[in-house]
Copies of this chain bind each other. A is one copy, B any other.
Amino acid sequence: MNSPLDNLINYISRLPGLGKRSARRMALHLLKNREKLMVPLANSILETAEKIQTCESCGNYDMTSPCNICSNLKRDHSTILVVEDVSDLWAIEKGGIYSGIYHILGGVLSAIDGVSPDKLNIKSLFDRVIAGDVKEVILATNATMEGQTTAHYLSQKLQDLGTKTTRLAQGIPLGGELEYLDEGTLLTALNSRTDI
């Protein structure tokens, strides 16, 4: 029978980016700070698991469903920005650069990992487009192979539905130095060059 500490290390090592060694270090750090960190952390996890809901409309995490963004009437409900994950939504919200609403896919299509369209929140996106007054869908999946494949798949389906579909511009990032950029980025930036 495993000791509670062994079990804890096993659970921690299942978190993304952590191996056994870091898991051991964290378990020891927790034991050294039982009152100030260990118990509060466990209670915080339980409270979050209980109170945070998945928005029935866009897939965002919030205390309410629909989430704060979907239920905000000041936002433009005719524009949906599609992202892979809630962390992408956070990145865009942090910038305060977008006033429409979102749709979170919950991942990307991947033949290797066996992620087919029915495993992502894709049907619900089409349902929203069909049901509502959506004027534009902005595809903002990551610029990875899988992200691009997913965007391509979505754009074809959305165009079949007659929806205006756009995607984020690709090119040189602000502050980017040519010397350090990969060839793919440089090629895209060159091919998509704009008039001054």
Residues in chain A within 8 A of chain B (CB atoms): 3-5, 7-8, 11-12, 14-17, 22, 24-32, 34, 37-49, 51-52, 54, 61-63, 85-87, 90, 106
Contacts and interface: CB of A to CB of B under 8 A. Distances in A.
Nearest to A35: B49
A interface SS class: helix
A63 B3 contact: yes
B52 A4 contact: yes
A52 B24 contact: no
A194 B64 CA distance: 71
Nearest to A3: B63
27 contacts: A4-B51, A4-B63, A5-B52, A7-B47, A8-B41, A8-B45, A8-B48, A11-B37, A11-B40, A11-B41, A11-B44, A12-B41, A15-B30, A17-B22, A24-B87, A25-B87, A28-B85, A28-B86, A30-B48, A31-B54, A38-B45, A38-B48, A39-B45, A39-B46, A39-B49, A42-B42, A45-B45
